Amino acid sequence: MADDNEDIILADLSDDELVLQMHDDLYDGLKEEIEDGVHILLGRDWTPYDVLTKALVAGMTIVGADFRDGILFVPEVLLAANAMKGGMFILKPLLAETGAPRMGKMVIGTVKGDIHDIGKNLVGMMMEGAGFEVRDLGINNSVEKYLAAIEEEQPDILGMSALLTTTMPYMKVVIDTLKEKGMRDDYIVMVGGAPLNEEFSKAIGADAYCRDAAVAVETAKSFMLRKHNAMNA
């Protein structure tokens, strides 16, 4: 996209122009520009959530479409992902700063064989913002790693992310292992990732499929409410 960025002063742009420029900068993998753009929008009283969704996630959607269509390749997408992470790093503490009471605890990780972590990170950030304590296991998690973490943390929720059709079946391996060990009913299992859907989630025995981070937060909250009501009944 634009390669004459040196001439553009981000702070001089209107909100709409700046958001479009940030989409371009994300596409071009310009981390510093993305970080500057995030600071400028926050300085203009944008909420962290709006900056995240309108400037960063929307920009990454364009990157995703062009990656799918063979216009962008892995190195460019990696740069875009790195720029996105720069922006997310600034927003993370702000999203978590809501002062919400502790809602519950979640262990989340991307499944074995899969290194996509942007969506999973977003879910973790939004959950923290909603008052959940989150232990993020990162990427490429084997069933043993999930088990070790849930035994250590005793979370309310286990979250799994997969972005590849080849890795999403691994979620069933984890759930089946929980069943074999008689631990399945101790945890709420929520799954997400672009190739998943409701039907897949049901077929593998998860409790919920979450289309995006906002749905993950709402779903987690409603499960926790039910859990508390059941405990108090």
Q: How far, in Å, CA of 184 to CA of 175, rounded?
A: 7
- Using an 8 Å Cβ cutoff, are 110 and 161 in contact? yes
| Closest alpha carbon to 155 in 191, 189, 121 | 189
Map the footprint of ligand B1M across residues 108-127, applying CB under 6 A: 108, 113-120, 122-123
Applying CB under 6 A, which of residues 51, 213, 217, 224 lies at the interface with ligand B1M?
A: 213
The 8-class DSSP code of residue 51 comes to I
- Six-digit token string for 16: 């709409």
Map the footprint of ligand B1M across residues 30-89, applying CB under 6 A: 57, 60, 63-64, 67-68, 74, 77-78, 81
Q: Is 217 in the site for ligand B1M (CB under 6 A)?
A: no
Q: Is 195 in the site for ligand B1M (CB under 6 A)?
A: yes
Name the residue nearer to ligand B1M (CB basis): 8 or 62.
62
In the complex, least distance from residue 16 CB atom to ligand B1M, rounded to whole angstroms: 22
Count the site residues for ligand B1M by CB under 6 A.
Answer: 36
Q: Compute the C-alpha angle 67/60/28, nearest 5°.
A: 75
Map the footprint of ligand B1M across residues 152-181, applying CB under 6 A: 159, 161, 163-165
Q: How far, in Å, CA of 201 to CA of 133, rounded?
A: 24
Burial bucket for residue 146 (CB in 10 Å: 0-12, 13-18, 19+): buried
By CB under 6 A, name the binding residues for ligand B1M: 57, 60, 63-64, 67-68, 74, 77-78, 81, 108, 113-120, 122-123, 159, 161, 163-165, 190-195, 210, 212-213, 216
